[in-house]
């Protein structure tokens, strides 16, 4: 089965995770993304802890759900907790639970995530934000597979799996004393590095099409618009791209059967496309020569095509290439070639 197809899960009778009955679809064919999926699918069937590392908005939670769906107990709960979103005094109670009378307001026993997850997956998002004083307690759960709710003398068994995620450089945080070294190595049995959208630009047209297909009314995009979207740096990664598609659904006017053109894209996209805007020299210089050349050519050609409104013939004439050669080059670089508006005035 292709990694981009939806993958039916086993029958579920007690899932309280809110996950859909069908695995969340992942989209992309870039080498960096396919390598990540291959690694993920090898790790998923084990019961070991996994650390997902990558920039904000790159899709870490979706990948954690994929690990769960392809793990040993896909019918068990998938529970997530954002370690940076809860007040510090509530994190411990949410993770470990509490007994009646453990503190003011604890009027009944409350099972925590470690108990509620059963044999499923506990996703600890933004694990770098976990308070230092709670990190030894999490380490103990991982090492002993047991825990004790607040205010209780009863020791409970943890039967699930922990998947953690962070956009922080936890290795650097360990060296700075901001994250416990022993916990880091206990979580990082397997590390999955999620590439940012700038490392998988060839996936952007496919992602745009996918997000557009999820909208209440159909959205299509001209090739010039796709090229412009492909050239945008997207510092917010996939989340930012998805939000822009949803915004277009609301703001787009005119014939709903007509495609979104480059001129209809948000101003932030229109003003940021240049060969150097999405990948600065300080990043290109770290690449091998072949990869750096490909990055430059992709950015340069995308900018030139946009400059001539998606007209391939005029672009080819300006840069000194045959039209057919430019088409082949665009295809090899993963840039969607324009189809409209290049026959009349330039050919």
Question: Where are the chain's structural domains?
Answer: 31-195, 200-333
Distances (CA, A) of 175 to 169, 171, 184: 10, 7, 11
pLDDT at 210: 92
pLDDT at 272: 55
For residues 21 and 19, give the distance between their C-alpha atoms in angstroms, rounded to a whole number. 7
* pLDDT for the residue numbered 36: 95
Per-residue pLDDT of the chain (347 residues; tens, 9 = 90+): 333 333 333 332 233 454 555 567 789 988 889 999 999 999 999 989 999 999 999 999 999 999 999 999 999 999 999 998 888 878 888 999 988 877 877 778 889 999 999 999 999 999 999 999 999 999 999 999 999 998 888 899 999 999 999 999 999 999 999 999 999 999 999 999 999 998 898 899 999 999 998 888 878 888 888 888 888 888 899 999 999 998 888 877 667 678 888 888 877 776 555 444 444 444 555 566 777 777 778 777 877 777 676 778 888 888 888 888 888 888 777 776 544 444 434 34
Q: How many whole angstroms separate alpha carbon 292 and alpha carbon 296?
A: 6
Name, in order, each residue with C-beta under 8 angstroms of 288's C-beta and a sequence gap of 6 or more: none
Domain 31-195 classification at class level = alpha beta
Output phi, psi for 190, to 5 deg. -125, 130
Q: What is the pLDDT of residue 343?
A: 42
CA-CA distance, 212 to 209, in Å (whole number)?
A: 5
Helical segments of the chain, H only: 31-43, 60-69, 88-96, 113-116, 135-144, 170-175, 181-187, 204-213, 223-231, 237-251, 267-270, 281-284, 289-307, 312-319, 323-333
Question: Cα 132 to the chain's mean position, in Å?
Answer: 27
CA dihedral in degrees (228, 229, 235, 239; nearest 10)?
170
Separation of alpha carbons 54 and 191, rounded Å = 10
pLDDT for residue 276: 41
What is the chain's length? 347
Tokens of 122: 């506990």
Instruction: Output the CA torsion sign for 10, 11, 16, 20.
Output: positive
Q: How wide is the angle at C-alpha 148 spanned by C-alphas 108 and 19, nearest 5°?
A: 75
Structure-block tokens of residue 135: 């990190």
Task: Write the DSSP assignment of 223-275 as a string of letters.
Answer: HHHHHHHHHS--TTHHHHHHHHHHHHHHH--S-TTSPBPGGGS-HHHHTT-ST
The SS3 of residue 150 is strand
Q: What's the DSSP call for residue 77?
A: -
Cβ-proximal residues to 279 (8 Å cutoff; 6+ apart), any chain = 198, 233, 295, 299
Can you give the pTM of this predicted structure? Answer: 0.73
Domain boundaries 200-333, CATH class: mainly alpha
CB of 44 closer than 8 Å to CB of 109: no
């Amino acid at each position: 089965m292709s990694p981009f197809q939806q993958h039916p899960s086993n029958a579920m009778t007690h899932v309280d995770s809110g996950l859909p009955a069908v695995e969340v679809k992942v989209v992309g064919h870039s080498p960096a993304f396919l390598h990540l999926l291959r690694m993920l699918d090898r790790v998923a069937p084990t019961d070991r802890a996994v650390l997902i590392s990558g920039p904000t908005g790159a899709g870490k939670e979706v990948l954690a759900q994929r690990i769960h769906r392809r793990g040993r107990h896909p019918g068990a709960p998938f529970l997530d907790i954002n370690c940076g979103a809860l007040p510090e005094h509530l994190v411990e109670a949410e993770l470990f639970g509490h007994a009646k009378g453990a503190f003011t307001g604890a009027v009944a026993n409350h099972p925590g995530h470690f108990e509620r997850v059963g044999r499923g997956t506990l996703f600890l998002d933004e694990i770098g934000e976990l308070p230092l004083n709670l990190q030894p307690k999490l380490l103990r759960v991982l090492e002993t597979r047991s825990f004790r709710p607040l205010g209780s003398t009863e020791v409970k068994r943890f039967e699930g799996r922990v998947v953690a995620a962070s956009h922080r450089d936890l290795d650097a945080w360990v060296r700075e004393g901001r994250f416990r070294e022993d916990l880091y190595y206990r979580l990082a049995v397997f590390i999955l590095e999620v590439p940012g959208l700038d490392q998988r630009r060839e996936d952007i047209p496919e992602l745009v099409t996918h997000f557009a297909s999820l909208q209440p009314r159909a959205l299509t995009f001209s090739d010039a618009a796709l090229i412009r979207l492909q050239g945008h740096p997207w510092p917010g990664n996939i989340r930012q791209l998805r939000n822009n598609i949803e915004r277009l659904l609301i703001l787009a006017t005119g014939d709903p059967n007509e495609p979104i053109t480059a001129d209809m894209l948000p101003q932030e996209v229109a003003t940021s496309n240049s060969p150097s805007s999405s990948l600065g020299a300080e990043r290109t210089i770290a690449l091998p020569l072949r990869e750096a050349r490909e990055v430059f050519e992709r950015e340069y050609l995308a900018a030139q095509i946009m400059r001539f409104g998606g007209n391939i013939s005029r672009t080819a004439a300006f840069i000194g290439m045959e039209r057919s050669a430019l088409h082949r080059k665009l295809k090899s670089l993963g840039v969607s070639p324009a189809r409209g508006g290049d026959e009349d005035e330039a050919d």
